A and B are shown apart, each in its own frame.
Chain A
Amino acid sequence: MKRVYVNEEWCLGCHLCEYNCAFANSGLSDMVLALKGKPIFPRIHIESGDKISYAVSCRHCEDPLCVKSCIAGALSKDCGVIKIDRNKCVGCFTCVLVCPFGALTPSESGIMQKCELCLQNACGEPACVKGCPNRAIVYEERGVAE
């Protein structure tokens, strides 16, 4: 299955992926209207440490602990993609407690949100990948981990 991967040596830490993500999931067609002057709630986050930075979004785990732990039955796996039914989520944060990557975060309303690879929004392909100026974020097949 194709997933979003980040080559951390190429990531500039510019945070553009966060803006592109928030815009792609805003449902609006004007980026200025969608983002200007507002706090943003992206589903991808830059992590930065000493001399490194890289973007983190849902890994769409083979064995997703978030899905098995969700007390509301709101998370599910559909053709490899981990999806959230935000209508069912009650914002208990159990998924935050179990995700090893910190990939689920609360939205503005307190209901959880996560990367669904932009398959559900107007972008149709991961907006973070499309807009990465240094091509540090890629969308590709890498097979099974070592």
Chain B
Amino acid sequence: MKEYLIIGNGTAACGCIEGIRSVDSSGRITVVSAEEHEVYCRPLISYYLEGKTDLSRMQYRGDDFYEKNNCSVLFGRRAVELLPDKKQIVLDNGDTLPYSELCLATGSSPFVPPFEGLETVEKKFPFMTLDDALSLEQAISKDSRVLIIGAGLIGLKCAEGISERVASVTVCDLADRVLSSILDSECASMMQHHLEKHGISFRLSDSAAKFEKNRAFMKSGAVVEFDVLVLAVGVRANVSLIKEIGGKVNRGVAVDSAMKTSVPHIFAAGDCAEVYDISAGMSRVLAILPNAYIGGYTAGANMAGGKAVFDNAIPMNSIGFYGLHAMTAGSYEGELYEEKTENSIKRLFVKDDLIKGFILIGCDERAGIYTSMIRNKTPVSSVDFEALKKAATTTAFSPDLRRKMFGGVV
């Protein structure tokens, strides 16, 4: 009987469990979980603070998930070393666990730059885990002035989540715009104005140089007073376990399309791993939930002897703030097709007869039709692109393609 071992207990681990069980119903599965929680929806921690969900509804799977899949979970334990020659891992309490197939689903950790005086700040929090959100919730009150370092996806969702529960929220970022990893200047500016209308203040092209208790001395020379500090500068993939044994690592753990690492019998998936982004033509960390699940599932199926591949990964995000949704996918290269109204922007990028990427703000209807064209590499010349760029519709596809899509099981 096979011994499956998974380090991590997030979305990729859940996908891995379900992938293993799609092939092997009897092998033993052990999960090493640093967090003391059953698998939950990480991206919902801001919705929790906003009151749009609660702890029980945030469970990613049902109460009987581990039992039903016959998994044992070691809560509150960390893996500290891999022993690939013995096919074992060492835990933080000194115990060793054997494996026949191992999956690294170790995720990422907040990256905190070395700010001078950060240790003098009493109330400071990252915003990655449920425990981070619960600690932040304890620290804030109606009178709190909150300073968030980082205007990316994490920082801004945090801002939205707490804005109704605190006195003020200020977000700063060294970048000159919000959501700089997914939006260009004009799109970012639209989203920034929308956030400002809802009371969020921004200090862009500026960040803290130094802290003194409740004061941030900014690079620009300004001084920002705050009661609670949130650090959302960025994240780093947790790669040390496999790096220490000489496994191939770039920004994330290098894997092939079967999610195998360079070390035999060790797989990796989720935010700790790199996947091949077909829209950019390069391997990179795509720290988004769909990739974590699909990568995890692929790894699991292959650990159990199946033949799964994950070969159509692209970056894609759907992120909304106070009712305005931004959807982005792929890479922003090639010829630009653009449509704008006062409250919406659509940008499609076309190169080599393929849609390579898009940005949609306030015009998200049937956006998945564009996404599927990127993932499936549907030639633009095979569709009525004039109709399609105005509205995402399958009527722009050829009758043959439509029949294939709608005629049978897909």
**Size of B's binding interface in residues, CB under 8 A:** 50
Is A94 an interface residue, CB under 8 A from the partner?
yes
Interfacial chain A residues near B407, Cβ < 8 Å: 5, 142, 145-146
A102 CB → nearest B CB, Å = 3
Interfacial chain A residues near B318, Cβ < 8 Å: 92-94, 96-97
Q: Say whether B408 contacts A143, CB under 8 Å.
A: yes
- A50 vs B384: C-alpha distance in the bound complex, in angstroms? 11
Is A34 an interface residue, CB under 8 A from the partner?
no
Contact of B395 among A49, A61, A72 (CB under 8 A): A49
Given A49-B393, A73-B61, the answer on whether A145 and B408 have CB atoms closer than 8 Å is: yes
Which chain B residues in 340-370 approach chain A with CB under 8 Å? 364-369
Segment of B132-140, B190-198, B287-295 engaged in the interface with chain A: B287-295
Is B57 an interface residue, CB under 8 A from the partner?
yes
Interface size class of A (residues with CB under 8 A): 35 or more
**A-B contact number at CB 8 A:** 133
Q: Say whether B316 contacts A98, CB under 8 Å.
A: yes
Q: Say whether B396 contacts A68, CB under 8 Å.
A: no
B275 CB → nearest A CB, Å = 14
- A1 vs B369: C-alpha distance in the bound complex, in angstroms? 24
Is A99 an interface residue, CB under 8 A from the partner?
yes
Q: Say whether A72 contacts B371, CB under 8 Å.
A: no
Interfacial chain A residues near B395, Cβ < 8 Å: 47-50, 52
Q: Say whether A143 contacts B329, CB under 8 Å.
A: no
Q: Say whether A65 contacts B290, CB under 8 Å.
A: yes
Interface of A is mostly: loop
Q: Say whether B410 contacts A102, CB under 8 Å.
A: no
Given A96-B318, A97-B371, A102-B369, the answer on whether A8 and B402 have CB atoms closer than 8 Å is: yes
Interfacial chain B residues near A146, Cβ < 8 Å: 404, 407-408
- A144 vs B410: C-alpha distance in the bound complex, in angstroms? 7
- A145 vs B404: C-alpha distance in the bound complex, in angstroms? 7
Q: Say whether B47 contacts A90, CB under 8 Å.
A: yes
Contact of A144 among B53, B329, B364, B409 (CB under 8 A): B409
B281 CB → nearest A CB, Å = 21
Q: Say whether B408 contacts A73, CB under 8 Å.
A: no
- A62 vs B22: C-alpha distance in the bound complex, in angstroms? 13
Please name 17 further chain A to chain B contacts, defined as beta carbons within 8 Å, in addition to the given A71-B43, A90-B53, A100-B368, sorted by A numbering: A59-B406, A62-B410, A68-B294, A72-B44, A90-B44, A90-B52, A91-B52, A92-B320, A96-B327, A96-B367, A97-B316, A97-B327, A97-B367, A98-B368, A98-B371, A101-B394, A102-B368
